[in-house]
Amino acid sequence: MKKPIIGLTPQYDYEKNRVWVGPNYLEAIYAAGGIPIMLPLHTDKESLKIAANVCDGFLFTGGPDISPFLYQEETIAQCGVVVPERDKMEEDLFSIIIDTDKPVLGICRGVQILNVFLGGTLYQDIPAQFASPIQLAHSQASGNSVLSHSVILEEDSLLHKINPKDYIQVNSFHHQAIKDVAPGLKIAGKAMDSLIEAVYHPGKKFFLGVQWHPEHLFKTSDDAMNIFKAFINACD
């Protein structure tokens, strides 16, 4: 059985001039039956296209905040560090793969950037811009593998087909989130405070973004592992 090759978008550390991918992403892809590779950050679009052609699917990983200029907003004081090099690389990658219908999974920043590239917007800072009578721990103090809040699944969504239940419990490490859902995307899950936690594209073979970090949960949570298995299976 052929193992699909999954291209992952990288992190970039300005201070150390270091490019890397968190090992949990690699382990989750490998455990689900795929072969993970890190895509190049500093490259031209044509070279990135060559690298993308090798891949059977793509994982847009977590990371820093996204430049508000990408969704036509000014930067508010609570917006965190942005990395223009990564925004540009992922924008180029997205333009290369969007019409190929190769499977795409976005995690945390990944779901946000997919929404932005398709025309959606973000809350630059949840505490500053999102009003709710329930104050959930979207940026939890507990460890990576600790569950923080529930996500209510939309019936008949891609996420509900992967995990056919009313809700799942997730971890949470974000201060930004989807505000306006991009044209073509549909909501797959919301938190109890109504914040959007997952979206999908019904017109694509597999196009799913989740706001939490299943790569830290796949060893102990079937709900998390099922996401990676469904992604890898779609890449065959």
pLDDT digits (tens, 9 = 90+) for 116-141: 999 999 999 999 999 887 889 899 99
At 63, is the pLDDT very low, low, confident or very high (cuts 50, 70, 90)? very high
Residue of 138, 149, 213, 216 marked active site: 213
- Token reading at 172: 């949470």
Mean pLDDT, residues 35-45 taken together: 95
Q: How many domains does the chain have?
A: 1
Q: What's the mean pLDDT when you consider all of the chain?
A: 96
State pLDDT tens for residues 169-202. 999 999 999 999 999 999 999 999 999 999 999 9
| Cβ proximity of 32 and 225 under 8 Å | yes
Asked if residue 14 has pLDDT above 90, the reply is no
Asked if residue 98 has pLDDT above 70, the reply is yes
Asked if residue 18 has pLDDT above 90, the reply is yes
| Cβ proximity of 187 and 193 under 8 Å | no
Handedness of CA 160, 166, 169, 174 (dihedral sign): positive
For residue 133, the model assigns a pLDDT of 79
For residue 126, the model assigns a pLDDT of 96
CA gap 5, 56 in Å, rounded: 5
- Residue 157 CB neighbours (<10 A): 18
Give CA angle at 222 (219, 226), nearest 5°: 105
Instruction: Verify whether residue 79 is a known catalytic residue.
Output: no
| Cβ proximity of 196 and 181 under 8 Å | yes
pTM > 0.95: yes
Instruction: Verify whether residue 201 is a known catalytic residue.
Output: no
**Considering just the CA atoms, what is the radius of gyration of the chain in Å?**
16
Residue of 138, 174, 197, 215 marked active site: 215
Instruction: Please state, for a pLDDT cut of 70, what percent of the chain lies above it.
Output: 100
Instruction: Verify whether residue 74 is a known catalytic residue.
Output: no
CATH number of the domain residue 37 falls in = 3.40.50.880
Residue of 108, 149, 160, 201 marked active site: 108
